[in-house]
Amino acid sequence: MQLKDCYNFHDFRRMAKQRLPGPIFNYIDGAADDEVTYRRNTAAFENCDLVPDVLRGVSDVDMSVTVMGQKLSMPVYCSPTALQRLFHHQGERAVAAAAGKFGTMFGVSSLGTTSLEEARRISGGPQVYQFYFHKDRGLNRDMMARAKSAGVETMMLTVDSITGGNRERDKRTGFAIPFKLNLSGIAQFAIKPAWGINYLTHERFSLPQLDGHIKMDGGALSISRYFTEMLDPSMNWDDVAQMVREWDGPFCLKGVMSVDDARRAVEIGCSGIVLSNHGGRQLDGSRSAFDQLAEIVDAVGDRIDVMMDGGVQRGTHVLKALSLGAKAVGLGRYYLFPLAAAGQPGVERALEMMRIEIERGMKLMGCTNVEQLTRRNLRFHG
């Protein structure tokens, strides 16, 4: 299978599956417990129909949006995700370059495999730093200061990951960072030698944001132990309010799902929230962000930028979220599978396809700009 054969999310996923060893593919593809929420994230969009307007004169379409003071050329962005150089040796560099080319936002994770500083050099476009709250308050302050000095304007604190989700696919293969595979997992690597050669012939795998805090060699702290030992489950609203004050710039909470929490985010001075269930990877059985979007937009949408992610695979999914009041929509697996399949050209092809789908969808909806997408054009089943 070649990149030119990929026309949608499922094609990219299939190509990535052909290329990646099973444990790594399943790390991207898997979710928590029974993966109910993972499936529900995409199914939620299917419960909503678009009602288009015609004869509106739509030769020119402006799909740009402004989120937390930053202008994006298209209403989707690449959500920060961990460990990208495991999927392809270009990792975050490919995503930064592709997002920059398309004039949209991307984010580097605390568990990113390329440094904030390098990602900032690659793309001059909007960038967020996705941050985990550590027990070590000094480490939190250091990481915020580092992001500031790298020129990152927007902080994105993930609030739904104070402990790791129960990802049973990883348990079955023994997937961990650093690798501690069981025999089944090792066998799956053996039948994909090209990935191994690629991995070994490029620079050593590292987590630059956590250098000096996580050792990647003998006696290493695994990613699962990172969540259970270094992150602070006692994190509360007072802690976050203090971070917002210290950062003194656009600050976004990722993982907010309730109206009460959305209101608290406004009260402590956040400029944005991302409705997210972490791609179904944390609390299985939690509601989809799309299903929760309308009531949160109604509660706080006039005071804070409301975004969402989870299950987005089509331009029409984006149009539905924007019509409910989302300011922008985050992509995760949608760009990770093409990254794994083909590096930067894969991410660029995926973003170009999404851009074309959104533009086509807006024309067919009779809309020349994002503001014209409203709930008037939606109908929900049952």
Alpha carbon distance 42, 97 (integer Å): 27
The total number of residues written for the chain in this structure: 382
Phi, psi (degrees; rounded to nearest 5) at 294: -60, -45
Asked if the bond preceding 21 is cis, omega within 30° of 0, the reply is no
State phi, psi for 50 to the nearest 5 degrees. Answer: -90, 140
Catalytic one of 89, 278, 317, 381: 278
Report the amino acid identity of residue 1.
M
In whole angstroms, give the CA distance from residue 185 to residue 183: 5
Taken in order 347, 349, 353, 356, the sign of the CA dihedral is positive
Is 317 one of the annotated active-site residues of the chain?
no
Helix (H, G, I), strand (E, B) or coil at 250: coil
Instruction: With beta carbons less than 8 A apart as the criterion, state whether 307 and 275 touch.
Output: yes
Write out the two tokens for 134.
């550590």
Dist CA 233 CA 229 (whole Å): 10
Q: Residue 143 carries which side chain, given as an amino acid letter?
A: M
Are 41 and 280 within 8 A, CB to CB?
yes
**CA–CA separation, 29 and 161 (whole Å):** 18
User: CB within 8 A of 113, min separation 6: which ones?
Assistant: 83, 84, 85, 86, 91, 92, 205, 206, 207, 208
Question: Where in the sequence numbering do the catalytic residues fall?
Answer: 278
